[in-house]
Amino acid sequence: MRCINKHSINIHYLLVSFLLFATCLILSGCSEREVRMPFKIDSSETAFSFETSNENNTALPFATNLAVPEGDVMPGEEIGDGADSYGSAILVDSANANMMYSKNSLATLYPASMTKVMTAIVAVKNASPDQVFTADDSCVFTEGDVQKVGLKSGDTMTMDQALHLLLIYSANDVAQLIAVNIAGSTEAFSDMMNSEAAALGATNTHFVNPHGLQDENHYTTAYDMYLMFNEAVKYEEIVQVISSPNYSTVYKHSDGSEASFSCDNTNRFLKGTAQAPGNINVVGGKTGTTLAAGGCLVMLSKDSGGNDYISCVMKGKTIDVTYGKTSSMLSLIK
């Protein structure tokens, strides 16, 4: 009786399989068509983009067109604890995915009303401009020091009106209005915000509300703000809103009567009370200020050639420090 070596058979099968696989690769060729998918924090495929098809597609890194921090850029500059201190800062040349400036860009800090950048992203992705939103009791903010329009239960306005008041005036009650009308509750909307942030690679971010009022479990980083704002400015309606120096509108009360509201943009560069370098055009952005968060500002600017730059400063000792730091970073653009 002949003895069969199972180990030899296994090697034979492996060799045959390898030759078949190599033949398929040679015959099929490669395609350079770019394909993408959102970042998924719990996926084994987070580093690359794949798509199932009859072609072999080139796998591209998730951050192909994104600037990636590799430590501090200009590390010799100290943040300090004095009157001119800040928590973190970042400047990115968007066209070239170039990190021009980074200081503590991965530090976890409170975003204050910069939160509304993500609120706006979720809003434009899940509601039409003419969709009517109705305020409930959760939209009534009575605190005197909270930025608000003064909504009452039963008040109505369109999503387009809400988006303007959210980003230009930074109205916290309008942020809540957007949340409850899109998701039904603050918690459900926050889940949508967190899912969107994770899909963009903003994995050091966690939201618990749509407005950014202080909560220790509500945080982000300057780098994550860059990722989220970079997504936001892909939407033409958001860019149009943040570039508006002022806004006036009329919304309705529950009895059908009208309420008018006018406001200026909270961005000092658009109001003319802060000056950018002469070769820079500030398009717009989102401010944020609380006692815990300090002065915050994320912004889109363009150079004389029309190239885009995204800047972010967090936890400025004062709002003056925040604008000063932003201007000094923009001066790096030649």
Q: What is the mean pLDDT of residues 182-205?
A: 98
Is residue 257 among the annotated active site residues? no
* Position with higher pLDDT, 69 vs 305: 305
pLDDT at 323: 98
Give the mean model confidence (pLDDT) for residues 181-195. 98
Token reading at 208: 């618990």
DSSP 8-class letter at 276: -
Q: Among the options 102, 113, 243, 301, which is catalytic?
A: 113
Q: Is 113 a catalytic residue?
A: yes
pLDDT at 293: 97
Task: Give the active site residue among 49, 88, 170, 301.
Answer: 170
pLDDT of res. 57? 53
* Cα distance between residue 305 and residue 191, in whole Å: 39
CB-based contact 218:111 (threshold 8 Å):
yes
Q: Which pLDDT belongs to residue 3?
A: 45
* pLDDT average, residue stretch 226-238: 98
User: What's the confidence (pLDDT) of residue 38?
Assistant: 55
The predicted structure's pLDDT at residue 47: 37
Place of tokens 């004095």: 82
- Report whether pLDDT(196) > 90: yes
Q: Break the chain into its structural domains and give their ranges.
A: 88-330
CB 280 within 8 A of CB 301: yes
Looking at the predicted structure, is the pLDDT value of residue 261 above 50? yes
43 pLDDT above the threshold of 60: no
CA angle 172, 227, 45 (to 5 degrees): 125
Please say whether the beta carbons of 193 and 210 come within 8 A.
Answer: yes
Predicted pLDDT of residue 94: 96
Find the catalytic residue in 116, 286, 315, 325: 116
Q: For 144, which DSSP code?
A: T
CB–CB of 158/236 below 8 Å?
no
Q: How confident is the model at residue 75 (pLDDT cuts 50, 70, 90)?
A: low
**Tokens representing residue 206 in the block:** 């966690």
pLDDT of amino acid 41: 53
Please, what is the average pLDDT of the chain?
86
Mean pLDDT, rounded, for 61-67: 71
Q: What beta strand segments (E) does 213-265 contain?
A: 246-252, 258-264
Residue 22 tokens read as 């190599």
Taking the C-alpha atoms of residue 215 and residue 293, their distance in angstroms, rounded to an integer, is: 10
Alpha carbon separation from 293 to 17, 113, 188, 287, 327 (Å, rounded)? 59, 9, 24, 11, 20
CA distances from 326 to 50, 87, 179, 192, 333 (A): 38, 13, 30, 30, 12
Upper half-sphere CA count for residue 260 (Cβ side, 13 Å): 2
Second CATH level (architecture) for the domain 88-330: 3-Layer(aba) Sandwich (3.40)
